[in-house]
A and B are shown apart, each in its own frame.
Chain A
Amino acid sequence: MTLLPLAVRSLWNRRATAGLTILSIAISVALLLSVRQFSEQARSAFASTISGTDLIVGARSGDINLLLYSVFHLGSATNNVSWPFYERLAKHRQVAWAIPLSLGDSHRGFRVLGTNDDYYRHYRFGDDRKIEFAAGRAPADLYDAVIGAEVARTLGYKAGEQIVIAHGAGSTSFAEHADKPFTVVGVIAPTGTPIDRTVHVSLAAIQAIHLDWQSGMPAPKGQRVSAQDARQQDLTPDSVTAILIGLKSKIDTFQIQRSINEYRGEPLLAILPGVTLQNLWSIVGNVEVALLAVGLLVTAAGLVCLLVAILASLNERRREMAILRSVGARPAHIFALLVSEAVGVAALGMLVGVLCTYLALAIARPLVQHTYGLLLQWPAWSLTDLAILCGFLTAATLAGAIPAWQAYRRSLADGLTIRL
C-alpha cells in the first residue's frame, strides 16, 4: 500500500480538525493575496484614469488635492480659475488644447461636470483611449446632458430621459435646478474611470442654471430667469474649477508649468498628472506595506495553526503509528506520512485561499466601481504571488517536519510497547 491514500484516509478520519486547519490557512493566504491584488489593481486603475494630459491647472492648493478633485471628482476645490485666464491659456501658442472643467453640482449622487467639446475630442485615458459613445452623441443644445455608463446603469437612464440637476455635490440635496431640466442625449461607453459616474453638460448650461441664484439659494419668485429666457443671456462663465492642458510639444511642459505657477494675476497651480499620481501612490504605498506586514503575520499564524493541529494529533495517533509499524512501515514511512499530511493540508488551504481571493475581488469590483468609478481587473498573478505561494508551501513542509521528526523518534522508541 502506498503512503498517499493512507495519509488521505487518516486525514479523512480527522476531517473536522483538518477542515478547520485548512480554513484557517485559506483565510490567511487569501488575506495576503487580496492585499497584494487590491493594491496592484487599484494602482493600475488609478494610473489609467488620465493619459495624454500634460498639465492640470487649478487654484493654488496641494498638487494631490488638485488631481483628486479635477480627475477623480473626490473632495472639492478651494477656489476657481478665472475665465479670462482660461481664454488666455486656450489661445496660447504653445497650447494645443485646453479643456475647462466646472464641478460643484450633482444629480442623484453623481457629479455633474460642465465642460466643452474639447473634452470629447481630446480627453484620453488608459492606453490612449478616447471617449466613445455607447448611444447618442455629444451635447449640442444648451440643455443637453451626456451620462457615464455607471450613471445609465444605476439609474436606468436612456437617451431622451429628462433629468434635473441638484445644487451642491452631496447625494441628497434640497436645492434643485428644477426649472431648467436637461435631456439625456448620449451615453458614454464604459471606461472604468470616474467618467462612468459623471453627468456631463456644457459650461454654458452650468452658467444658465445659476443665473438667477444668489449666494447659493434660488432667487425669490418674480426674479427668476426661465429656461427659455436664459438662452438669450450671456452665458460666458466667470470661472472654471480646473483646466486640463495638452501642449503642442512636451518640451514646453516645465516652462509652461513654471509660468503658470509664477503667474501674478491669480494664485494658480499647474501639476504634471503623471508625477502627481506617483506622489499619491508613494503615500498610499506606506499603507500598502503595513497591510502586507499584517498579511504576512496572519499567514505565519496560519502556519503555526497547522503545526499545532498536527502536534496535537500526534498523541491520539500513537496507536495508528504503532499499527503502521506492526504491518511493516519503517520509521521513514511515518516521517513521510506526516510531512505529506502537512503539505497536503497546506496545499488545499492555499487552493481555497486563491478561490477566496477571487471571491473577495468579485464582491469588491462592483462596490469600487460604484463608489469611485474605477474598474478593478481580475487577478494578474505575478512571479511575486507565485513566490509567496511556493514560500508558503516550503514553510509548511518545514513546519510539518517538526511533528514528523517527533513521531519518527517516538515510533523507534515506543513502537509496539505502547500500553492501551
Chain B
Amino acid sequence: MSRGKRTLFVTLLCATATCAAAEDEMFEDHHAHEHGVATLNVAVDASRLALQFRSPAMNLVGFEHRPRTAQDQAAVSQALEWLRDPAGQFQPSAEASCRVVKSEVTPPDWEDPSGHSEFAADYEFDCQKQAALQHLYVRLLEHLEAETKIEAQVAAPDGQHSTELTRANTRLVLRKPVR
C-alpha cells in the first residue's frame, strides 16, 4: 500500500472508530450479551477467592421479559435462590476450607433499554488452607439451560488463563495455567 493510500485507510478506520465511540456514549450498557453463554471471572490472591458471575436471564429462567405469570415469578425466585447459595453452587476444593464472606446478587433489570436482562452475582470466599485451593466446582451448570457454556477467566498469582465450562466439565482449575 502506498503511503497516501495507507493514510486514507487509517483516516477511514479512525472515522469508523470515532463513530463507534460516539455510539457508545448513547448507550448505558454495551457489553456483549450472548444467549447460551455466561461469564465467570475468578480472582485468587493469598487466602481470598473472588467470583464475578454474569448470565443473560435466558440461561437461568428461559425468558428475558418482565415475569408475567406465577410460573415466571417462580422461575425467577428459584434462580435467585440458587445464586444466593454460593457455597452450594460454586464449590472451592473442600480441603481448602473456604467460607463465604461476601455474596451480592443483583436480579435482572427487566426494563433494560437494550431489551436484554441479566443476573449478576459477586462473591468472595476466605480460605484457611490456600495451598489446597486447586479447583472450583461450578454446580450451577446443572441448573442452567442444558447447552449453556460458562466462559471462565482466572487471574491467580501463578498466571492467568481461560477455560470453557459445560455440564460435562464443571471443574475449573485455579492453579497452573493450562496451555
CB-based contact A254/B48 at 8 Å:
no
CB-based contact A251/B161 at 8 Å:
no
CB-based contact A275/B153 at 8 Å:
yes
B residues contacting the other copy or chain, number (CB 8 A): 27
Contact among A78, A255, A272, A281 with B179 in the assembled complex (CB-CB below 8 Å): A281
Closest to A282 in B: B162
CB-based contact B179/A273 at 8 Å:
no
Closest to B45 in A: A250
Chain B residues near A261 (CB, 8 Å)? 31
Assembly CA distance A278 to B154 (angstroms): 12
Contact among B43, B162, B179 with A43 in the assembled complex (CB-CB below 8 Å): B179
CB-based contact B24/A274 at 8 Å:
no
> Of B13-21, B72-80, B141-149, which binds chain A?
B13-21
> Among residues 220 to 278 in chain A, which have CB atoms less than 8 Å away from a CB atom of chain B?
249-255, 261, 264, 267, 272-275, 278
Closest CB in chain A relative to B131 CB, distance in Å: 16
Q: Does A51 contact B (CB under 8 A)?
A: yes
Closest to A128 in B: B158
CB-based contact B13/A78 at 8 Å:
yes
CB-based contact A250/B161 at 8 Å:
no
CB-based contact A254/B45 at 8 Å:
no
Q: Does A279 contact B (CB under 8 A)?
A: yes
Contact among B25, B46, B52, B160 with A275 in the assembled complex (CB-CB below 8 Å): B160
A residues contacting the other copy or chain, number (CB 8 A): 24
CB-based contact B21/A273 at 8 Å:
no
Assembly CA distance A274 to B156 (angstroms): 10
Closest CB in chain B relative to A213 CB, distance in Å: 17
Q: A250-B157, A251-B50, A272-B153 are in contact. Are A279 and B44 (CB under 8 A)?
A: no
CB-based contact B43/A254 at 8 Å:
yes
Q: Does B41 contact A (CB under 8 A)?
A: yes
CB-based contact B155/A254 at 8 Å:
yes
Closest CB in chain B relative to A104 CB, distance in Å: 13
Chain B 60-76 interface 0/1 with A at a Cβ cutoff of 8 Å (1 = within): 00000000000000000
Q: A78-B17, A272-B153, A274-B177 are in contact. Are A251 and B160 (CB under 8 A)?
A: no
Contact among A51, A60, A79, A264 with B159 in the assembled complex (CB-CB below 8 Å): A51
